Amino acid sequence: MTVAIAPLDTGRPITWRNPGVDRSSDYDAGRFGLTEAAMAQAQRTIAAWPGYQVTPLHRLDRLAKRLGLNSLLVKAETDRLGLDSFKALGAPYAVEQVVLGEASRGRRMTPGISVTAPHGGARDAAPPRITVTCATDGNHGRAVAWAAQRLGVDAVIYVPRMVSKARITAIARHGAQIVEVDGNYDEAVACAQTDADRFGRHVVSDFGYAGYEDVPRLCMLGYTMLVRELVGQLDPAEPPTHIVIQGGCGAFAAAVIAGLWREWGASRPSVIVLEPIAAAGLYESARAGRPVFVSGDHDTVMGGLACGTVSMPAWPLIRDGVDLFVVLPDRYALEAMRVYASPIEGDPAIVAGETGASGLGALLALLENRETRLAANLDEHSHVLLFVCEGATDPAAYRRHVGSSPDQILRLSKG
Ligand SMILES: Cc1ncc(COP(=O)(O)O)c(C=O)c1O
């Protein structure tokens, strides 16, 4: 049973070392549900998509020096397939697999194209259209809508109360029908599911629960592409010692952990997962030793992380693979957006949204005092890798927080 607990009300970051982290076993596909063959298949499929490109890995040498680290690398997902976040890897892979499965059963992918009936018999009427659906804080729904448009199927996307108009518009731009839910993310998930049952839609969620794990696992398989890219980009002589990953429902972190574990085994980098104070469902679940649910409206500027509990297929990897949890007040994410936008001379400028910048926010929080520095084992020998997992997905909010528009920062960075 999932237990509901109240959100944290501290204004200070919390760091917690996971006593359950497993640093002695090999990667175990049976325990974690993502097989090596399935990861490889997802990676091959994505690499063949039109427009697919490896996203950049930036070096911030000046900032590393100022922070007292050996090196600082940033994998920037700000222009992933034109969608501004790594989410373009997960949901579109899942949508593609769902649509291919349905099309092979005779359902309609593209308007006007008739599909051969399953047994080769004649059809009386056009086959029903495929509709995919999900709840979203922005990026996942945008990726579902994008994939549906690309494959010629319909999309209905449910957005909770806290999602900004700019993010809703970005989803609607891909032709999706939007349903605004007067509730939090978890309530939007419930609405999407109820309507899907009623209207025969396919839920393509990155959030899994008992009985609904296959599709979220497909999203996670798509995210493992990040690790395949990193393996090709990293200097083998200087592997990262620490990786900081943003945690919402945990699918992103779990997929990266799976890829790292498979690649580097027990000597994989130390994994630090950060969450907002208002929605620290992964941290609370790890502490409780089982999935728990954080109540409240999950109000945070880190909109992509506003999720109160852990996705079921992600849970074993979060439980066994996260070394350190950081629970972060919003102000650190905002500070990190500004640091990325105004780099030290010689470092590149990076346009990072609130969630995108929060990895650096967590690093800044950890480096703030000796105790947390020690807890994270961060020192002058550390090679830290961060993900800027989204760009400026809400340009007006970006301008408010940074003082310049995303375009101004990009122009400055091009010099
Ligand atoms: C930009 C961004 N980063 C990180 C996350 C967190 O990913 P997950 O929910 O898989 O933990 C999200 C989720 O929406 C997101 O949009």
pLDDT in tens, the chain (415 residues): 467 787 777 789 999 999 999 999 999 999 999 999 999 999 999 999 999 999 999 999 999 999 999 999 999 999 999 999 999 999 999 999 999 999 888 777 654 433 333 333 344 456 678 999 999 988 999 999 999 999 999 999 999 988 889 999 999 999 999 999 999 887 998 999 999 999 999 999 999 989 999 999 999 999 999 999 999 999 999 999 999 999 999 999 999 999 999 999 999 999 999 999 999 999 999 999 999 999 888 889 999 999 899 999 999 999 999 999 999 999 999 999 999 999 999 999 999 999 999 999 999 999 999 999 999 999 999 999 999 999 998 999 999 999 999 999 998 777 6
Catalytic residue among 9, 26, 75, 87: 87
- Note whether 254 and 141 are same-domain residues: no
CA-based max dimension of the chain: 73
Question: HSE on the CB side for 394, CA within 13 Å?
Answer: 24
Place of tokens 């994989």: 268
Catalytic residue among 84, 137, 186, 323: 137
Alpha helices in 293-405 (DSSP H): 315-321, 330-341, 354-367, 370-376, 395-402
- 66 three-state secondary structure: helix
Residue whose CA lies nearest to ligand 1 atom number 5: 304
pLDDT (0 to 100) of residue 205: 94
> Structural domain of residue 210, as residue ranges?
87-218
Q: How would you class 120 by CB atoms within 10 Å of its CB: exposed for 0-12, middle for 13-18, buried for 19 or more?
A: exposed
Q: For residue 251, which atom of ligand 1 is closest to its CA?
A: 10
- Note whether 249 and 359 are same-domain residues: yes
Q: For residue 393, which atom of ligand 1 is closest to its CA?
A: 1
- Residues 6 or more apart whose Cβ sits within 8 Å of residue 53: none
Place of tokens 């929080």: 365
Q: Each residue of 95-117: b (16+ CB within 10 Å) or e?
A: bbbbbeebbeebbbbeeeeebee
Q: What is the DSSP string of 387-412?
A: EE-B--SSHHHHHHHHSS-HHHHHHH
Neighbours of 131 (CB within 10 A): 19
pLDDT (0 to 100) of residue 110: 57
Q: Domains in the chain: how many in total?
A: 2
- Note whether 137 and 226 are same-domain residues: no
252: enclosing H helix or E strand: helix 251-264
What's the CA angle centered on 194, arms 148 and 5, to 5 degrees? 105
124 is catalytic: no
> Cα separation of 95 and 92, whole Å?
5
Distance 408 CA to ligand 1 centre (A): 26
pLDDT (0 to 100) of residue 126: 66
**What DSSP state is assigned to residue 125?**
S
- Note whether 203 and 326 are same-domain residues: no
- Note whether 146 and 66 are same-domain residues: no
pLDDT (0 to 100) of residue 120: 33
Q: 137 in ligand 1 pocket by Cβ < 6 Å?
A: yes
Q: What is the CATH number of the domain that holds 164?
A: 3.40.50.1100
pLDDT (0 to 100) of residue 107: 74
- Note whether 257 and 402 are same-domain residues: yes
Residue from 255, 229, 52, 252 nearest 150 by CA: 52
- Note whether 214 and 224 are same-domain residues: no
Dihedral angle computed from the Cα positions of residues 207, 212, 217 and 222, in that order, rounded to the nearest 10 degrees = -60
- Note whether 248 and 367 are same-domain residues: yes
- Note whether 92 and 69 are same-domain residues: no
- Note whether 388 and 330 are same-domain residues: yes
65 is catalytic: no
Distance 104 CA to ligand 1 centre (A): 31
